[in-house]
Amino acid sequence: MGGGAPEKYQSLPGGSYTPPSGDRGSRILAPLKAEGARGVTIAVVSTVVVFGLLAFAVLNSSGWPQIKEAFFDPAVFRDSLSKIIERFTRNVFIFLVAEVFVLILAMIVAVMRSLRGPVFTPLRILAAAYTDLFRAVPTILVILLLGFGAPSLQIRGVPHSDIFWAIVALVLVYSAYVAEVYRAGIQSVHPSQVASARALGLSRGKTMRFVVVPQAVRRVLPPLLNDFIGLQKDSALVAVLGYTEALRQAQIVSAANFDFTPYVALALVYIVITIPEARFVDWLVARDQRRLQAVGGV
């Protein structure tokens, strides 16, 4: 994904995007197919040589023993990983709960901003102001503001759990991003689709619900994943409230051992859960493409 992504969304307005067939997510290895057996041999040999040399250079550099001890200490790793994973369940809880509300709130904001007609001007202004505001302010600032600020008010009926407010902060910030993603998707649905739905006598609301939104969401699945991964990572920001989630735990173990390996362990946890998510979305998009072009699938 990564580098190629922005370009393909530029082709969205008007038509539906069709991914190049066959090589989704595996561009790096794709050219090999055309090269044949000789090409594969060259690829394998050159890869082994280059990476072998790299590894040799790193492992034999003068600083390597110190680096290894500070960042890759097997004993500390084993000791810290289970503690970190245990606390990571808190992050999972934070970002899963937040994501559910983000997907809902963002859709409401995006639809509000896409409403036509003079009556809806206040709603459009509200939606625009919201996205402008929460995309501008740093996430960590919103978390501090709400996580420390809201409970300190001691107003009756207002929850004073810091984690509650941290989730609210993440929902507010990420909904602003995701609303823009949805809005791009909504705008990419050709006006003729709206015209034919309205021509059937469907109301504006039903046109949105049955014709525009389903097509819009399909098109923005990959950028939605981007924001989900962002949210997942930013669940670590909750640590600033003193809440012991995975990052805070890694910090504690690191301080106790005078060693940075726990941070590396946590980084690994994030990597391990993110890669399958990316492949899952690739698969989802490819499956959808196949389905729309399949014969007889209801």
Partner 1 sequence: MGPAAALRIEDLHKSFDGLEVLKGIDLEVVEHEVVGLIGASGSGKSTLLRCINLLEPVNAGRVFIEGEEITARGVDVNRIRQRVGIVFQAFNLFPHMTVLRNVTLGPIEALGASRAEADALATELLERFGLADKRGDYPDRLSGGQQQRVAIVRALAMKPDVMLLDEVTSALDPELVAEVLNVIRELASGGMTMVIATHEMGFARDIANRIGFLDAGVILEEGPPEEIFTSPREERTRRFLQSIIEAGRM
Nearer residue to partner 1 within complex by CB, 82 or 203:
203
Does 198 bind partner 1 (CB under 8 A)? Our answer is yes
Could you tell me which of 114, 110, 233 has the C-alpha nearest to residue 177?
Answer: 110
Exactly one of 136, 153, 271, 295 binds partner 1 (CB under 8 A); that residue is 295
Residues contacting 68, CB < 8 A, separation 6+: none
How many residues are there in the chain?
A: 298
Binding test (CB under 8 A) with partner 1, winner from 39, 159, 214, 242: 214
Stretch that binds partner 1, among 23-31, 244-252, 253-261, 288-296 (CB under 8 A): 288-296
Q: Between residues 117 and 157, which has the closer beta carbon with respect to partner 1? A: 117
Least Å distance, CB 291 to partner 1, is: 7
**Nearest CB to partner 1, comparing residues 96 and 292:** 292
**For partner 1, which is the closer residue by CB, 153 or 298?**
298
Closest CA to 221 of 272, 174, 286: 286
Q: What is the nearest approach in angstroms of partner 1 to the Cβ of residue 29?
A: 29
Selected binder of partner 1 within 42, 50, 195, 267 (CB under 8 A)? 195
16 binds partner 1 (CB under 8 A): yes
Q: Does residue 293 bind partner 1 (CB under 8 A)?
A: yes
61 binds partner 1 (CB under 8 A): no
Residue from 56, 64, 210, 283 binding partner 1 (CB under 8 A) = 210
Place of tokens 């110190």: 66
Among 192, 255, 268, 287, binds partner 1 (CB under 8 A): 192
Q: Which of 106, 109, 166, 197 binds partner 1 (CB under 8 A)?
A: 197
Kindly state the greatest CA–CA separation across the chain: 75
Q: Rounded CA gap, 126 and 123, in Å?
A: 5
Stretch that binds partner 1, among 80-88, 91-99, 196-204, 260-268 (CB under 8 A): 196-204
CA distances (Å), origin 236, targets 97, 131, 241, 277: 14, 23, 10, 18
Residue closer to partner 1, measured from CB, 61 or 193: 193
User: CA-CA distances (angstroms) from residue 295 to 15, 19, 167, 256, 290?
Assistant: 21, 19, 44, 61, 10
Q: Which member of 184, 202, 229, 240 binds partner 1 (CB under 8 A)?
A: 202
Only segment of 36-44, 95-103, 145-153, 187-195 that touches partner 1 (CB under 8 A): 187-195
Q: Interface with partner 1 by CB under 8 A: which residues?
A: 16, 192-193, 195-203, 206, 210-211, 214-215, 218, 291-298
